[in-house]
Structure 1
Amino acid sequence: MSKDDDRVGTHVPSAALAAYATGDPGLDDVAAWGVEAHLDTCARCRARLADHAAPPVRDLLGTARTALLHEARTGPQPAPARSRWRRWTGWSPLGWAVTALTAVLAAFLLDRAYPQFPSVVLLLAPLAPISGLAVAWSRRTDPAWETLAGMPRAGLELVLRRTLVVLAATLPALTVAGLLLGESPALWLLPAITGTSATLWLGGRIGVTRAAAALATAWIAAVIVPAVLTMDVPPMIRAEGVPGWAAAAVICTVLALLRADGFLRLHSWR
């Protein structure tokens, strides 16, 4: 076999081709899709793939290749290139964004109308970005998730892009509401950042949607329910809780970055 076969950018490396042929679980989903995309256009690598496959599989590959080529010639034409907006996020989170902004406005109006009660803006602020991530990175809400998951930039980079879109949709509204109410931004910003980072960290393990649901439930049980029962702001979202939230935000961010490889697996879309 020629050494040119293993040149990066020319053909699939032999190790990756062997792992793909044998179904090695060490080959992540993005790498496997990259191999498949290359095999569609490279006859030499398809021939090399047959060397790593058992005889029954070779026959199956030949049949599949014939069917794929026939479909490529007779099937529908490729769709137009996606817009830059679609590369960063999808149209499905727009409904969530409108709902989140409406919730922030309602919380602000309640705080202005009933200043004697615990601040609804402080209580709900961390839930806004968490719920946005649950929508922005889920196979159930994004009809094009398979295509996006197979993109070269899939993984943590794409997750961070969508996270920035979620934060850009929620933080400005929360900032305005907090300033008008005279609340320190740290009281809601740090819990919101911590919740976002924790969602990304857990999302690489159990799926972003599941992580968001678990953290939202924990926040409701630990903060919102006690505030409603006592009619007072819990100590954890008062000024004395700011140092703890700052430390938690740093720790969760580092843990999320360390779990970056978790977003190369399909389970992160659950």
Structure 2
Amino acid sequence: MRLLDDYARGDAVMAADTVWALEAHLETCAPCRSRLADSVATEAPGIAGLLDTVRAGLEPQLDAAVRGPSRRRRPRWVSAWMTPVMAPWLAMTAVVTLTALLLGAVVPAEVFGGSSTMSLIAPVLPLCGVAASWSRGLDPAHELTASTARAGLPLLLRRTTAVLVVVLPGLLVWGWLTGTMTAAQWLLPSLAFTSTALALGSVVGVTRAATGLVAAWGVVVAPTWVTGRVPSVLQLALQRNQLPLWGLLLALGIGAVIARRNAYSTL
């Protein structure tokens, strides 16, 4: 109750993370919202009077307004995971994935020194969607979203999961149909790059981190496009006996994300 009373009074000494946690809790707890209403009435009567004045002025207009057609209410889990602004960057992620799969089917492996095209693209393919999911240009509600109590790590993980759900099934089917690479050969590098992008994103921003990692990988892969031979450093990275190192990088990235979880609220 003390936190609710302080919040109702607009206490300026409340810590920012406490305010965000309280607002996130109020979204899902009706009893606490009811207690907050009581606190506003007792702790901030001026605000309660202002709300009554606004309500009295709006009620006649709302009664006279033409009601729109009722829409079927979506389940709560759908509202939590899917929003209208997801369409542009999820569509872009799907197009990039399909383009990569088409490129892997058309371009012979000899062009890349005998390596599969997808084995070179798959590690950074999810990063394109991760960068787009946190891009201001593709999210018209970016400023509104960033000001909500859930705009930190939970929202980032939801969007990252949505990207992986779009990208990984296509890669899994491709690897199964062609037999050119095992699931571990592309799955671990993909997840390792994704976790690294999120970890670096807590410092420089998710879009910058994802774009930078894609550019760095492109520098490593570029000699293969030019010479038709896989550089030794890339051959070493793609060998099966290097999978434990990718797993270690994935674990370090996840650990960094957990350790820096509070930083994502200020991105």
Residue pairs, 1:84-103, within 5 angstroms: 84-89=77-82, 90-103=86-99
1:257 and 2:258 correspond? yes
Aligned to 1:232: 229
Once the two structures are superposed, residues 37-68 of structure 1 have per-residue CA deviations (whole angstroms, 9 ceiling, x without a partner) of: 979x7374376369xxxxxxx9xx79986896
Conserved? CA contact 2:23–2:149, under 8 Å: no
Query: In structure 2, the residue corresponding to 1:92 is in which secondary structure?
Result: helix
For residue 4 of structure 2, give the secondary structure of its aligned residue in structure 1.
coil
Q: Which residue number in structure 2 is paired with residue 164 of structure 1?
A: 161
Decide which of 4, 7, 15 is 1:12's aligned counterpart: 4
Alignment correspondent of 1:201: 199
**Contact in 1 for aligned 2:152/2:262 (Cα 8 Å):** yes
Q: Greater CA deviation, 101-110 or 25-34? A: 25-34
Q: After TM superposition, list the pairs within 5 Å mapping 1:139-158 onto structure 2.
A: 139-146=136-143, 148-149=145-146, 153-158=150-155
Instruction: Indicate yes or no: 2:94 matched with 1:104.
Output: no
**Alignment check: 8 A CA contact 2:127 2:197 kept:** yes
Q: CA RMSD in A?
A: 3.8
Residues 35 and 192 of structure 1: is their aligned pair in 2 closer, same or farther, counting only changes over 3 Å? closer
> Structure 2: which 5+ runs fail to align?
28-32
Task: Supply the distance in 2 between the matched residues of 1:27 and 1:157 (Cα, whole angstroms).
Answer: 14
Q: Deviations over 1:204-256 (max 9, x none)?
A: 333221221122122212x2223224423322223343222111111111111
Shift, 1:13, TM fit:
4.7
Does structure 2 conserve the Cα–Cα contact (< 8 Å) formed by 1:104 and 1:173? no
Query: Which segments of 5 or more consecutive residues in structure 1 lack a partner in the other structure?
Result: 51-57
Q: Determine the C-alpha separation between the residues in 1 that align with 2:143 and 2:22.
A: 13
Is contact 1:29–1:264 with CA below 8 Å preserved after alignment? Answer: no
- What does residue range 115-194 of structure 1 map to in structure 2 within 5 Å? 115-117=110-112, 118-146=115-143, 148-149=145-146, 153-179=150-176, 180-194=178-192
How many angstroms does 1:126 deviate by? 2.1
Aligned to 2:210: 212
Pick aligned residue for 1:22 from 1, 9, 12: 12
CA-to-partner distance for each residue in 1:97-135, whole Å, 9 max, x for gaps?
331232232232134x34452422111112221111122
Whether 1:241 and 2:221 are equivalent positions in the alignment is: no
Give the aligned length: 244
Deviation at 1:136, TM superposition (A): 2.2
Question: Normalised by the size of structure 1, how large is the TM-score?
Answer: 0.70
- Equivalents in 2 of 1:63, 1:13: separation in Å? 17
Conserved in 2, the CA contact under 8 Å of 1:125 and 1:192?
yes
Whether the aligned pair in 2 keeps the contact of 1:30 and 1:154 (CA below 8 Å) is: no
For 1:71 and 1:203, locate their aligned partners in 2 and report how far apart those are by CA, in whole Å.
46
> Does the aligned pair in 1 maintain the 2:8–2:39 contact within 8 Å?
no
Letter matched to residue 262 of structure 1? A
Shift in alpha-carbon separation, 1:182–1:119, aligned structure 2, 3 A: closer
Amino acid at match of 1:106: L
Measured against aligned partners, the alpha-carbon deviations of 1:133-170 in whole angstroms (never above 9, x if no partner) come to 12223343223445545666543233222222211111
The whole-number CA distance in structure 2 between the counterparts of 1:149 and 1:71 is: 31
Cα gap change, 1:199 to 1:44, in 2 (>3 Å):
same
